[in-house]
Amino acid sequence: MSAVLVTGIGELVTNDPGRGAPLGLVGSAALVAEGDRIAWVGPAAAAPAADRALDLAGRAVLPGFVDSHSHLVFAGDRAAEFAARMSGQPYDGGGIAATVAATRAATDAELRALLAARVAELAAQGTTTVEIKSGYGLDVEDEARLLRLAGEVTSETTYLGAHVVPAGRSREDYLRLVTGRMLAACAPLARWVDVFCEPASSHAFDQDEARAVLAAGRAAGLLPRVHANQLSAGPGVRLAVDVGAASADHCTYLAPADVDALAGSDTVATLLPGVEFSTRSPYPDARRLLDAGATVALATDCNPGTCFSSSMPFVVALAVREMGMTPAEAVSAATTGGARALRRPDIGVLRPGSRADLAVLDAPSYLHLAYRPGVPIARRLVLDG
Ligand code: NIG
Ligand code: FE
């Protein structure tokens, strides 16, 4: 296996706790990658020899972003719904039906091309791992189809048959399908099970329904995560903690008991500030979560309804400007936080043995991610070829 020595790293974010706060930074750094793994990390002056060398001329390097929440397999867009929201319409999930119709009507080839373009868009902005959910099929064949397509580009696939109750179906019938035949078809194609949990009367699933979905998914070998507290301080977060979900995502509206529950658990609070931006909602109280000791992740939620942005740098900038996170906290949440939300100790960190998933900045420091919002300074660093 050939080894590549990367030199000229002006600032290296390792996220290795052994290297100290913040972010396990190493100045004037180098690293060696062998195949898809990191073999060595440290000060450039101590770097070993390798087969090939790449000089980054003072640029900053960090672990590639881990986007732990997206809905990338869909057709159509909802720009008109977005425009209506900007003139005061609230978001209630009702628009999901339009994406379901467009997605069902698309061929595999069309969906594959749309997905490939979106994955390339993420990589061009420094993302190296993306989780992708189903949820725009809402029948057995289409949910399985979306997961099959997602599985072609990531191992982090999530069954979200319980996104909303499709038009024309009774809740009871649909819940039976989601926990029965649809689950049986989808479980072999997914790692995770997710549910959109809100108080009864919304398009989503109430506490008991959501619990049933997660229990059935777990019995089929899937690991739980939850769309929680997006539209109200509902039951989602506490359900997520109660079932030991890897992550409670959104956390837009949190009661004090939700913060306490997250802080006392292994469930990661995954914040999606692109959604608040695109739905004109209040931002989650990241400061309170961090100060309470919760683990926080940042992700895009890239989807046609609530946030059609694939940009982790944008999310980092929002987290700093709008949620009171420091640049170091935001970068940590977008890398190692996402890795924790996906239970992946092999990513989000750069140390010997971890995956050589790298992002490089056309800038001398990670601080520029928030300091230069909207400027395309980040991209995935490809070492082989
Ligand atoms: O994460 N909340 C539910 N699902 C998505 C939005 C889906 C849509 O509106 O198309 C979300 O925000
Ligand atoms: Fe989502």
Query: What would the 3-class secondary structure string for 195-222 be?
Result: EEECCCCCCCECHHHHHHHHHHHHHCCC
pLDDT the model gives residue 385? 56
Beta-carbon neighbours within 5 Å of ion ligand 2: 301
Same domain, 108 and 242: yes
Among the bound ligands, the one closest to the CA of 252:
1
Evaluate if residue 63 carries a pLDDT over 80: yes
Q: Which residues contact 194 (CB under 8 A, 6 or more apart)?
A: 133, 135, 158, 159, 160, 162, 224, 225, 226, 227, 249
Which residue's C-alpha comes closest to atom 9 of ligand 1? 305
Which residue's C-alpha comes closest to atom 5 of ligand 1? 306
What's the CA gap between 243 and 245, in Å, rounded?
Answer: 6
Evaluate if residue 147 carries a pLDDT over 60: yes
For ligand 1, pick from 104, 131, 138, 196 the residue to mutate: most ligand atoms within 8 Å of CB. 196
Q: Which atom of ligand 1 is nearest to the CA of 307?
A: 12
Quick check: CB of 230 below 6 Å from ligand 1? Answer: yes
pLDDT the model gives residue 201? 73
Q: Cis peptide leading into 22, omega within 30 of 0?
A: yes
199-214 as b/e, with b when 16 or more CB fall inside 10 Å?
Answer: eeebbbbbbebbbbbb
CB 33: neighbour CB atoms within 10 A? 27
pLDDT band at 203 (very low <50, low <70, confident <90, very high): confident
Mean pLDDT of the chain: 97
pLDDT band at 325 (very low <50, low <70, confident <90, very high): very high
291-306 tens-digit pLDDT: 999 999 999 999 999 9
- pLDDT average, residue stretch 330-347: 98
In this structure, the strands spanning 52-63 and 3-12 are parallel
DSSP-derived secondary structure for 78-142: -HHHHHHHHTTPPP-STTHHHHHHHHHHS-HHHHHHHHHHHHHHHHTTTEEEE-EE--S--SHHH
Question: Taking Cα atoms as reference points, which of 331, 258, 256 lies closest to residue 248?
Answer: 258
What's the CA gap between 239 and 228, in Å, rounded?
Answer: 9
Which residue's C-alpha comes closest to atom 12 of ligand 1? 306
CB 365: neighbour CB atoms within 10 A? 16
Among the bound ligands, the one closest to the CA of 204:
1
- Tell how far the Cα of 196 is from the centroid of ligand 1, in angstroms: 8
89-112 tens-digit pLDDT: 999 999 999 999 999 999 999 999
Same domain, 199 and 284: yes
Same domain, 127 and 264: yes
CA dist list (Å): 296 to 163, 241, 246, 331: 23, 14, 12, 11
Among the bound ligands, the one closest to the CA of 133:
2
Quick check: CB of 225 below 6 Å from ligand 1? Answer: no
Residue 223 parent element (H or E) = strand 223-228
Same domain, 295 and 337: yes
Per-residue DSSP letter, 2: -
Quick check: CB of 78 below 6 Å from ligand 1? Answer: no
Q: Which residues contact 160 (CB under 8 A, 6 or more apart)?
A: 71, 133, 134, 135, 193, 194, 195, 196
CA dist list (Å): 198 to 52, 88, 164, 167, 230: 53, 22, 10, 18, 8
The total number of structural domains in the chain stands at: 2
- Tell how far the Cα of 40 is from the centroid of ligand 2, in angstroms: 36
Same domain, 107 and 121: yes
Quick check: CB of 95 below 6 Å from ligand 1? Answer: yes
**Residue 362's CATH number:** 2.30.40.10
Residue in the structure block whose two tokens are 């296996």: 1
Q: In terms of C-beta distances under 8 Å and separation of at least 24 residues, what long-range contacts does 197-201 make, across chains too?
A: 197/226, 197/227, 197/228, 197/234, 197/235, 197/236, 197/239, 198/230, 198/231, 198/232, 198/234, 198/236, 199/232, 199/234, 199/235
**Phi, psi torsion values for 352, nearest 5 degrees:** -50, 130
**Residue 225's CATH number:** 3.20.20.140
Evaluate if residue 207 carries a pLDDT over 90: yes
Same domain, 16 and 75: no
Report CA 327 to chain centroid distance, whole Å.
18
The structure tokens listed for 17 are 């706790």
Same domain, 55 and 122: no
Q: Which atom of ligand 1 is nearest to the CA of 95?
A: 9
pTM attached to this predicted model: 0.98
Q: Helix, strand, or coil here: 32?
A: strand
Q: Which atom of ligand 1 is nearest to the CA of 301?
A: 1
pLDDT band at 30 (very low <50, low <70, confident <90, very high): very high
Same domain, 199 and 266: yes
List, in sequence order, every residue forming a beta bridge with 270; answer none if it has no partner.
249, 297
Same domain, 37 and 102: no
Quick check: CB of 99 below 6 Å from ligand 1? Answer: yes
Same domain, 60 and 81: no
- Tell how far the Cα of 365 is from the centroid of ligand 2, in angstroms: 30
Q: What share of the chain has pLDDT > 90, as a percent?
A: 97
CB-based contact 358:286 (threshold 8 Å): no
Same domain, 38 and 159: no
Which residue's C-alpha comes closest to atom 7 of ligand 1? 305
- Tell how far the Cα of 172 is from the centroid of ligand 2, in angstroms: 23
Same domain, 357 and 243: no
Domain that holds residue 135: 65-341
